Structure 1
Amino acid sequence: MPNKINILAPKTGSKEISLSQPKLDLGIEKDTDVGGIGMGVLSDGTPYLNQRGLAALCGVQNAHIGTISSQWSEAEQKPRIKSIKSILEKIGLTPASAHIEVVHAGTTHFCYPAEVCLAILEYYSFDAGTNCQPQARDNYRILAGSKLREMIYSQVGYDPSGKHGKRFDKWHERIGLNYQSAPKGFFHVFNEAHTIIYELIMAGAEIGEKTVVDISIGQHWSKHWDEKGFDKIYGARAKYPHRYPESHPQSKSNPQESWCYPLASLGEYRQWIQNIYLEGGKFSAYLKGKVHSGHLPPSVAQLAIATLVPAQIGN
């Protein structure tokens, strides 16, 4: 999976386009910065990226995106403007400007709607001749179609349909059934996996019966426990009854016996989850498997990895 989107530059508070552009009576409903990606949603529901973020996404200098904006309405259209507009026309869009200028909290923001971002990204992926950018092509494959729009909505916590208002429900159901199920003196992987599950949900994953990351964690940790002979170091692990909500097909075999581990080994587990499961590639492999099976969008996997797996020096 391409790991290009992680290097997007942070949004800026200063103006980046010298030519005056038309202003609309819009505000910024929500905005955020995710891994250096400046993004938000306007008051009419339009998802956008800022100029520097779009430039980095395309693998070009910020000035190139600014020039696209400044040349958008020229009488004699430059070839790249014609190409980008042609891409937009194919989906029925003829925007008067490449960006929307919005004053928010006393600062002027240049907001590039998601559809315009994708058109510019497509141009630098396939239509720019010798200026085509491999980075743009990699990111286009991740974010084509509705994926960029969905990613922005998810990251800023904006729900245009109401669908995501219940995105935590299935996870909360499992917490309600299992938060006190391990015996005194023991911990279980499900409770320890909450940070990872939360970050997956925030990245846009639908956590439920098809994406149960604590099963993956539990299987790998159990194997590691046996290989290291931790029973002799921390004491014997035990079984506890774990239950799934009725919304999960796994509930048909409730209660299910699951391993719980002595609290004395909790520090060992937390080092393992960081060093081996997350940074050692097991988490990434799990997400790639979910992408391959169609249970997880590539953009969600990419953001989850960027959030939970620290960038390695030299990468």
Structure 2
Amino acid sequence: MTLNAPKEITPNANKINILAAKTAPKEITQSQGMLPLGIEANGEFGEIGMGVLSDGTPYLNQRGLAVLCGVENAHIGTISSQWNEDPVKPRIQKIKGILSQAGLAAASAHVEIVHAGKANYCYPAEVCLAILEYYAFDAGVNVQDQARHNFRLLAGSKLREMIYSQVGYDPTGAKRFDKWHERIALNFQSAPKGYFHVFNEAHTIIYELIAAGAPIGEKMVVDISIGQHWGKFWADNAMDGTYGARAKYPHKYPDSHPQAKSNPQESWCYPLAALGEYRAWLQDIYIEGGKFSGYLKAKVAKGELQPSVAQLAIGALAPALIAHHS
């Protein structure tokens, strides 16, 4: 497949907003650090599969890279299988040399990620460009006109930008707080005087989740989980008798949330006298007592949250839990 312009292989993509991309590491490895990688966003565009890993690395799948290079899929698979052979094959040596000129090294040609029950062979954009350049100019009798044409279109940062654009990934991270801010704007003064509500008191947890890369929005409303557990704790301990009766207030969801269809929704608010008790409960019981990690694990099991994001959030809010399970 020959590209006339990047947009020709990349029709409209679904919008997915997540954390900003990290600067390319000096060494591209399967682990990319201590946390397991997942796939944050992906899609098939014509014959080309692409996506973004949970650390912000854009990639092409094996078939997509083969199409850009104008070669059979098996040729790309052979590059992967020969990547660490000793002695180094001339082709691999040349591709690694191209990477080295860019100040990069790769422990393997691809990263294998299991996503939605299927193994995905993800070739980081920098590796893709090195292989594409090889087939464009350095493959001898195997040089491909398609590879040369596509390399000219996608060299430099253009491949990264194309992947980000087509799978709806925002590398600046500018929009990741939008849905949370929409809820704040609707609810920051909604509790009556003398009361607090869980949403406004959950900001630290919500911020850490967004910073870790969690897609806070209509499918991930952590303050509902907090509110349910705190409400049960309140009732089980007859805290109306200690602090006074809790009350209901109208909570609203933004139009971007399906919950908005039933606005306004009645939600509990609690006497300010109980605020210290609530904050101690939040830290000691909800976060460190395992309820928070249980909530995140359930989201991971449903495929709504990457394991690495859950681990980052727990590490920020309850580092003792990471140490305990390591």
TM-score w.r.t. length of structure 2:
0.54
Show the 5 A alignment for 1:37-48: 40-41=22-23, 47-48=24-25
CA deviation string 1:23-77 (max 9, x = no partner): xxxxxxxxxxxxxxxx940xxxxx326799969749xxxxxxxxxxxxxxxxxxx
Give the corresponding residue for 2:84: 81
Assess, with a 3 A threshold, how the Cα gap between structure 1 residues 274 and 97 changes in structure 2: closer, same or farther. farther
Please point out which of 149, 169, 180 is paired with 2:189. Answer: 180
CA deviation string 1:142-197 (max 9, x = no partner): xx866x99xxxxxxxxx954634211111111000000000111110000111111
Is the 2:250–2:264 contact (alpha carbons within 8 Å) kept by the matching residues of 1? yes
Assess, with a 3 A threshold, how the Cα gap between structure 1 residues 253 and 52 changes in structure 2: closer, same or farther. closer
Question: In the TM superposition, what is the alpha-carbon distance from 1:117 to its structure 2 partner?
Answer: 5.4
Cα distance in 2, alignment partners of residues 40 and 175 from structure 1? 28
Give the corresponding residue for 2:275: 266
% identical equivalent positions: 57
Give the corresponding residue for 1:196: 205
Assess, with a 3 A threshold, how the Cα gap between structure 1 residues 292 and 187 changes in structure 2: closer, same or farther. same
Asked if residue 286 in structure 1 is aligned to residue 313 in structure 2, the reply is no
Give SS of 1:291's match: helix
Assess, with a 3 A threshold, how the Cα gap between structure 1 residues 250 and 100 changes in structure 2: closer, same or farther. farther
Please point out which of 235, 243, 249 is paired with 1:234. Answer: 243
Segments ≥4 residues shifted beyond 6 Å = 49-56, 97-102
Please point out which of 176, 180, 183 is paired with 1:171. Answer: 180
Cα distance in 1, alignment partners of residues 306 and 111 from structure 2? 19
Give the corresponding residue for 1:34: none
Q: How many residues align?
A: 210
Cα distance in 1, alignment partners of residues 302 and 174 from structure 2? 25
Cα distance in 2, alignment partners of residues 195 and 95 from structure 1? 44
Is the 1:57–1:121 contact (alpha carbons within 8 Å) kept by the matching residues of 2? no
Cα distance in 2, alignment partners of residues 261 and 177 from structure 1? 19
Show the 5 A alignment for 1:1-315: 40-41=22-23, 47-48=24-25, 57=34, 81-82=84-85, 94-96=95-97, 116=106, 161=165, 163=170, 164-312=173-321
1:271 alignment partner AA: A
Cα distance in 2, alignment partners of residues 298 and 177 from structure 1? 31
Cα distance in 2, alignment partners of residues 210 and 55 from structure 1? 28
Which structure 2 residue ranges, 5 or more long, are not aligned?
Answer: 1-20, 36-81, 126-162
Which structure 1 residue ranges, 5 or more long, are not aligned?
Answer: 1-38, 42-46, 59-78, 103-110, 123-136, 150-158
Cα distance in 2, alignment partners of residues 255 and 196 from structure 1? 24
Is the 1:49–1:117 contact (alpha carbons within 8 Å) kept by the matching residues of 2? no
**Relative contact order (alpha carbons < 8 A, sep ≥ 6): 1 or 2 greater?**
2
CA deviation string 1:203-253 (max 9, x = no partner): 111111000000000000000111111111111111100000111111111
Query: CA RMSD of the aligned region, Å?
Result: 4.0
Question: In the TM superposition, what is the alpha-carbon distance from 1:119 to its structure 2 partner?
Answer: 5.8
Cα distance in 2, alignment partners of residues 40 and 222 from structure 1? 39
TM-score w.r.t. length of structure 1:
0.56
